[in-house]
Amino acid sequence: MSARALATGAVNLGQGFPDVDGPAEIAKAAAEAVLTGKGNQYPPGPGIPELRNAVADHQHRFYGLTYDPDTEVLVTAGATEAIAAAMLALLEPGDEVIAFEPYYDSYAACIAMAGGVRVPVTLRAPDFRPDMDALRAAITGRTRLILLNSPHNPTGSVFTRDELAAIAELAIAHDLLVISDEVYEHMVFSGEHLPIASLPGMRERTVTISSAAKTFSFTGWKIGWITATSDLVTAVRTVKQFLTFVSGGPFQYAIAEALALPDDYFSSVSGGLAARRELMVDGLAATGFEVYRPAGTYFITTDIRPFGEVSGLEFCRKLPYKAGVVAIPSSVFYDNAGEGQFHVRFAFCKKEEVLKEALNRLSALRPG
């Protein structure tokens, strides 16, 4: 879809990357690291100590979680590698992985690469809440782990403490691991982000994944990390060693500084997006979409049926030509698209004027 945006000159609200870079001082720290020879040669396999310390400090500062930076933190090539390495490390062929669909597209690929079997549990409109009965019913003797993502891409749903506690109870009762993808942890507009690892009995069975891409608006740097017990980190590191070994040396120094930014920075992440969420929620609704208001992330899910359309895929194929805008059909995030076939995702991590231009163009659409 990004290629289609380039080819047609459409406003790209498809892929989730911001059109403004992260903090200038952090970019400068990366440039200085390159110029002063920090990280230009292979950094240590688990990541540079400065970044591992900064990740551990961040988990403690925001969530009261304590991780040993030497044995319980691993730096990865973005959250994407963390997900892949965790699946390859923790799954045996035939193991079942329960994931809440719609899900981020790398999940299906990574489960498949590890020989796992994905078992979707569907989050349904309008609220996209996890259905605990469906989750319970999905657990079998082959279930190895639950793959969580909250705040959730693409729906913007943020799981509540009660929901996470119910998931934790099932994970403990069935002795399951949890992989928790928390890359949108600092993008919450209502409710709170709670790492499932912070719930009783969960630290020892959870691999928490996050990344600098979203929090610091440097998606191209590909610096991610996991926090988990040393046994789990060792397993994931053993795989990571043969995927990328290491990456992003100078960026690791810069992100170590970024993670130490004052609290104000972290609250400004969702603060800065909140007005754009309002603009898009109101603007898309005014255009005629049914809009599902996100509680977190920088994505909005909409329903296209008010336009008389029944296929998000077709709608998104035509949209660049009809309205000069690119969006993503949510069906790509499902195994069983069901009502997801009517849904289309817009990213709002773009400048306000860009969003206004997109809304202006979309106003050419007419509800059917």
Ligand X SMILES: Cc1ncc(COP(=O)(O)O)c(C=O)c1O
22 sits near ligand X (criterion: CB under 6 A): no
Give the binding range for ligand X (CB under 6 A) out of 76-84, 110-118, 225-233, 317-325: 76-84
Q: Which residues pair with 98 in a beta bridge?
A: 119, 146
348 Cβ contact partners less than 8 Å away, ≥ 6 residues apart: 13, 273, 276, 277, 279, 280, 298, 299, 300, 355
Give, in order, the Cα–Cα distances in Å from 299 to each of 151, 177, 213, 217, 368: 10, 28, 15, 15, 25
Identify the residue among 12, 149, 215, 217 touching ligand X (CB under 6 A): 149
Question: Is the Cβ of residue 15 or residue 363 nearer to ligand X in the bound state?
Answer: 15
Size of the site for ligand X (CB under 6 A): 14
80 sits near ligand X (criterion: CB under 6 A): yes
181 sits near ligand X (criterion: CB under 6 A): yes
Residue 185 CB, nearest distance to ligand X (Å)?
A: 11
16 sits near ligand X (criterion: CB under 6 A): yes
Identify the residue among 48, 73, 79, 337 touching ligand X (CB under 6 A): 79
Please name which of 280, 364, 285 lies closest in space to residue 324, comparing C-alpha atoms.
Answer: 364
Residue 78 CB, nearest distance to ligand X (Å)?
A: 3
Quote the tokens at residue 192.
């709170």
Identify the residue among 75, 176, 213, 232 touching ligand X (CB under 6 A): 213
Cβ pair 190, 220 in contact under 8 A: no
User: Would you call 242 helix, strand, or coil by DSSP?
Assistant: helix
CB atoms within 10 A of CB 351: 12
Question: Is the Cβ of residue 323 or residue 349 nearer to ligand X in the bound state?
Answer: 349
Give the binding range for ligand X (CB under 6 A) out of 30-38, 74-82, 136-144, 249-257: 74-82
Tell me if the bond preceding 294 is cis, omega within 30° of 0: no
Q: Which residues pair with 298 in a beta bridge?
A: none
- DSSP annotation of 152: P
Identify the residue among 167, 183, 233, 325 touching ligand X (CB under 6 A): 183
Residue 76 CB, nearest distance to ligand X (Å)?
A: 8
Residue 368 CB, nearest distance to ligand X (Å)?
A: 31
Residue 298 CB, nearest distance to ligand X (Å)?
A: 10
345's enclosing H/E stretch is: strand 343-347
**Chain residues in the site for ligand X (CB under 6 A):** 16, 78-80, 104, 149, 153, 181, 183, 211, 213, 219, 222, 224
